[in-house]
Amino acid sequence: MMAKARKTIRNKLGAMGYPSKREVRREQILKIASELFSEKSYHDVTVDEIADAVGVAKGTIYLYFPSKEKLYLEILENSFEAIESLLEREIAKSDSAPVKLKKILSLIFEFYRINLDVLRILSRDETHLIREHFEFTEHWRLRRIKLYEKILERGQKEGSFRPLNTTLTALIIFGLVRSVMFFYKTDESAKEIAEDVFSAISEGILAPDEQDP
């Protein structure tokens, strides 16, 4: 009877949006594992080390994640799903393409500034270590490039962007944003970085009065 009552309470709390004890533990494992993977390479982090840091037995980790690979990929998947959800909501708004692109850039820089552990993991580019990791990150890479293409195509239709190769330009923006995320050290805000990157994309490097040779 008591067990049934506890189950009923858990179900009601879940329906109200309160995380269960299992969900809290799962999030704790993900958070601590993310910190460890950000400090050392994938192969240098062991499940024993994660369990010790969480304060549980090694077997407990496997109750939540069947393998270190699945735990590692879920850290990345949670991050990608979170940022892509934000970007898709921004894309759906009625702003002009230039405004939309600038906001997207700011969101990306702000997101990874807050989630530095994930940024450090991504900056190692360990996709060659796990086949599933490569396939997974390739899926999200293509999705991000398609998002940039969508903005560029919208800009062309509304006349705010000149006719251009949208696939090539989307790849250029993708590479530029990743390089800035990983290697640009600055005290500027995410919005200021986005402004600078947008300016580099929209205005290029030639002075306004420079003529083609």
CB–CB of 64/42 below 8 Å? no
The 10s digit of each residue's pLDDT in 53-100 is 999 999 999 999 999 989 998 998 899 999 999 999 998 889 999 999
Same fold, 1-65 and 73-204: no
Kindly tell me if the per-residue pLDDT of 147 is higher than 90. Answer: yes
Q: Which of the four pLDDT bands, split at 50, 70 and 90, describes residue 198? A: very high
**In 3-state terms, what secondary structure has residue 22?**
helix
Kindly tell me if the per-residue pLDDT of 177 is higher than 50. Answer: yes
List the CATH code of the domain at 1-65. 1.10.10.60
pTM of the model: 0.80
Q: Which of the four pLDDT bands, split at 50, 70 and 90, describes residue 122? A: confident
Structural domain boundaries in the chain: 1-65, 73-204
Pick the CATH number of 73-204 from 1.10.10.10, 3.30.1600.10, 1.10.357.10, 2.40.30.160: 1.10.357.10
Contacts of 51 (CB under 8 A, 6+ apart): 57, 58, 60, 61
Euclidean distance between CA atoms 91 and 97, whole angstroms = 9
Chain centroid, CA 146 distance in Å:
15
Euclidean distance between CA atoms 86 and 69, whole angstroms = 26
Euclidean distance between CA atoms 56 and 108, whole angstroms = 34
Q: Which of the four pLDDT bands, split at 50, 70 and 90, describes residue 162? A: very high
CB–CB of 71/32 below 8 Å? no
Kindly tell me if the per-residue pLDDT of 130 is higher than 70. Answer: no
What is the mean pLDDT of the segment spanning 177-184?
A: 92
Q: Which is nearest to 93 in space by CA: 181, 108, 102?
A: 102
Instruction: Tell me the C-alpha to C-alpha distance, in Å, between residue 103 and each of 16, 55, 151, 189.
Output: 33, 41, 11, 13
Q: Which of the four pLDDT bands, split at 50, 70 and 90, describes residue 4? A: very low
The 10s digit of each residue's pLDDT in 10-33 is 454 344 556 688 899 999 999 999
